[in-house]
Structures are given as structure tokens and as C-alpha cells.
Amino acid sequence: MRNIIIPLAFFTLASAGCKTRPTSTPVAFPSFSTEAHRGGRGLMPENTIPAMKNAIDLGVTTLEMDTHISADQKVMLSHDDFINPLFTLDPEGREIAKTDNKKYPLYTMTYAEIKKFDAGSKGNTGFPQQKKIKTYIPLLADVIDSVQNYIKSKGKQQVFYNIETKSKPAGDDKLHPAPEKFVDLLVKVLDQKKITPYSVIQSFDVRTLQVINRKYPHIKTSLLVDNDKTLNENIAILGFKPFIISPIARMVNQEFVSQAHQQNMKVIPWTVNTADEISRIKSLGVDGIISDYPNLLTK
């Protein structure tokens, strides 16, 4: 081997001009991922810190959640583009009329304004077992802090985070940022909180997953699907093979699972809410299940 001497000044300049993507230490994904949908909204207010803690107590491997962006560029948990009158009270604790279901678009409100709404006291008539507690729409950063501290204090196993970007082309720059900006804001939080190795970003919007694949290939992706296309047709639209394919439960059969596994993709269906259906889906050889009732997944 030849001795190669490189002037220190040259090496320093060359290194300074070289930008690299952040890397993550590989972490083993659960052999079977039990995922609390929106934190387990069948039992607790959806997409809230109390829901996530309850799911941890029940022993799930993965916390599933939705993200939106506020007017001041904060990443928060919400499935809906607007404050949802179905289960949210206004800052004074009053009911919001159903006709006002689009009165409060999250992307036009600051997070300080959003946090004043009560996201848990009203309950959700669609989920009669859900506990009614006063709580709020949290920042993703605060959810992560709360979860990590809770895990440590209770001596629990590290959980994974399955985080959805709630976006669609028609909503760009109206209801949410365009895909690249959305992804950049989200990944910044994951990097700051050092949980990227334990994170999966999922979406129905292939554009956000394409941004991740291009800019942040170290982050696991999951393609959500609910359509009549075949597995291969959905993958062709995406343009690459994600870590996970996450179909609505009705799309899942033995052939679907086999085809996905042959292409080294995991299959994690949603949203499976009865013990019988969980048993049926498990028998197909899937790699996890997303449910509103995490107690059914872990009993």
C-alpha cells in the first residue's frame, strides 16, 4: 500500500465543502408490530399524550399517529385539516356546531391558538369506550418527550413511532405545506429528538414518501393504500419499494402478503378492530396490525 500524504489545509477545506445526509444506527423493527391507531382512539382521545401513555401501558410495540402543520410551522398531532367538532370543544369549553366543521383550518392558526381547544372532554360517540379527559392537541416534539420520559420512568421497552403526513395535492399551501416543506419540518423534529431510528413515516400521499426516499433514505417509509389497484400497481405509482405496505384490511389476502414478502416489504393492515378480524388477519402472515383497540392486540 502506498503512503499518501495530503496537506492538512486541503483536507480541511475539502471536508468543509462536503455535505452528507444524517445517518441512523440500524434498529431491529418488531417481529410483529402491534400499533395503537391514533394512540388507541377506541380507549382514549385520539392523537393525544394520554392516549400514547395508555398504549404503552398496554404493551404495544408501535404508536401510530397523524401530523399536521400550524401557521407558525409547528408539527402537531391531528388527523383532520380542521378542528373537529365531533370530539373537540372550543377554548371556552363550549360545543362547536357541526356546521362549523371547517371554521378552524389548522394551517391558518398558530399553535398557541390550537392548543386552547379541548380535545378530550367531549368524548367520541363513535367510540363509546373512550375515556373522557380534558386534554389538548399536542406538538409532535412534546409527544416524543412525554413518551420517552414515560418509557424511562416506567422501565418500559422502547416503542416505534409510525407517523403519518396528512396531505394531498389539493391541499398544498392551503391546508398544509407542499410535500417537501412538510417532510423537512417533520424530519427536523425526529432528528432533534434523536428518534429517527425508531421512526416510520407513512402516507397515502406518495409525494411525501418520494421526498423521504430522495432526501432522507435512512428513514423507513410505509405506503398507505385504500383502492382497487394491485400491490404492484401501487408500488409502480410510488416509484420505489417502501419498508412497509399498509393496506386497508379488506385488501389483504394470502396472495397480497406473499407478493409483498417476495419483494422484501412488510405488510401491516389497518384498521382492525375486532378480536375475530385480528385473528383472521394474523393467520395470513402479516407483519403487524393497526387497531383502535390496542388492548385487543396485546392481550
- Residue-wise DSSP of 84-152: -TTT-B-TTSPBPPGGGTTS-BGGGS-HHHHTTSBSSSS--TT-TT---------BHHHHHHHHHHHHH
Predicted pLDDT at 14: 40
Distance CA 132, CA 145 (A): 23
Q: CA 213, CA 190: separation in Å to the nearest integer? A: 16
DSSP reduced 3-state for 295: helix
- How far apart (Å, rounded) are the C-alpha atoms in residues 275 and 281? 10
What kind and span of H or E run contains 234?
helix 231-238
3-state secondary structure of 263: coil
pLDDT value at residue 22 = 44
Q: 262 is written with which cell numbers?
A: 417476495
Stretch (H or E) spanning 221:
strand 220-225
| Per-residue pLDDT at 293 | 99
Residue 108: all three cell numbers together:
391558518
In the chain, the amino acid numbered 30 is: P
Q: 54 in helix, strand or coil?
A: helix
Residues of the chain whose pLDDT is less than 70?
Answer: 1-25
At the top level of CATH, the class of 27-81+138-298 is alpha beta
* Confidence at residue 25, expressed as pLDDT on a 0 to 100 scale: 60
